[in-house]
Each structure stands twice: as C-alpha cells, then as structure tokens.
Amino acid sequence: METSKELKIVIVADNPLFAEMLKKTMSLGLEEDVVIKTLGSADVFLKELESNRVSSDVVVLDYKLNKRAGEEKDCKSVIDQIRRVSPETAIVVISDEKDMLEAAKTLQYGANEYVSKDKFAFSHITNAVKSCLNPSRS
C-alpha cells in the first residue's frame, strides 16, 4: 500500500496459539501501520461484522473452525456472509487440508488467497495478504 492508511486485519482461528503466531508473523512482515485482531469463533466474527463492531481490509480465515467444540463452521457459508456484508474485504483462507481440490473450492467460494498449513505457512501468509492488497503486483 502506498498510503499511510492503517491496515486492519482480522484473524479468525480457533487455535489461540496459532492465531497469535500468525499475528506476530504478519506484524513483522507488513510495512504498513497494521492493527490485527484475533477472534476464535466464526459466529462471533460474523456477529461483530454484521453489527459493524469490526471492520477489516483482510480476513484470515481458518478453513475448519471450532472443530474441537463440535461447532465446525462451513467455510463457504462464512465466506458468503463476509462477501454479503463487506464485499471489498479480502479473504485469505488457511487450512491443513491436503486435498488441492479443497483449495480450489475456497477460491471458487470467493476467497482471494489460500495458504496451506505446512512448514511454509508462516512465510506464505504475509505474501498472501500483500497479494490481496496489491493484486497488480502479484
């Protein structure tokens, strides 16, 4: 980004340690002034989004949310709601799915980028966010 506008990122992931690691990685890797908020539930995020209590330039969305609580949220429905309420928000899906068909599906659902939770995930997440913000440079 060329302006000094504050970049707002929301990480929606049910693993607090993983979310914190993503937050630190992006804080270090992005040159812009950045504010990163983490939320552990898609339901909480969507309620805050719909009531305008949270806004973001980029949402980093875990593919499978709340599976430990038995409340796994369907990635497609979350992306659909984000697109309906805030169509300009970029979406980066991060997942441990090994099937590349699932990655392709998330892009068809409306995600801008897909990052696999592998040993390179933390190095790739910042590039995925940058790609969303500067699509002409990717």
Using pLDDT thresholds of 50, 70 and 90, give the confidence band for residue 93: very high
Domains, the chain: 7-137 (3.40.50.2300)
Quick check: 1 and 30 in contact, CB under 8 A?
Answer: no
Closest residue by Cα to residue 90 from 117, 54, 119, 129: 129
Q: Which amino acid is at 102?
A: E
| pTM score | 0.86
Rounded to the nearest angstrom, the gap between the alpha carbon of residue 86 and the centroid of all alpha carbons in its chain is 14
Residue 75, number of CB atoms within 10 A of its CB: 23
Higher pLDDT, 37 or 99: 37
Quick check: 96 and 116 in contact, CB under 8 A?
Answer: yes
pLDDT, tens digit, 9 for 90 and up, residues 56-91 = 899 999 988 765 555 656 788 899 999 999 999 999
Quick check: 59 and 36 in contact, CB under 8 A?
Answer: no
The 3-state DSSP composition of the chain as helix, strand, coil percent (nearest 5) reads 45, 20, 35
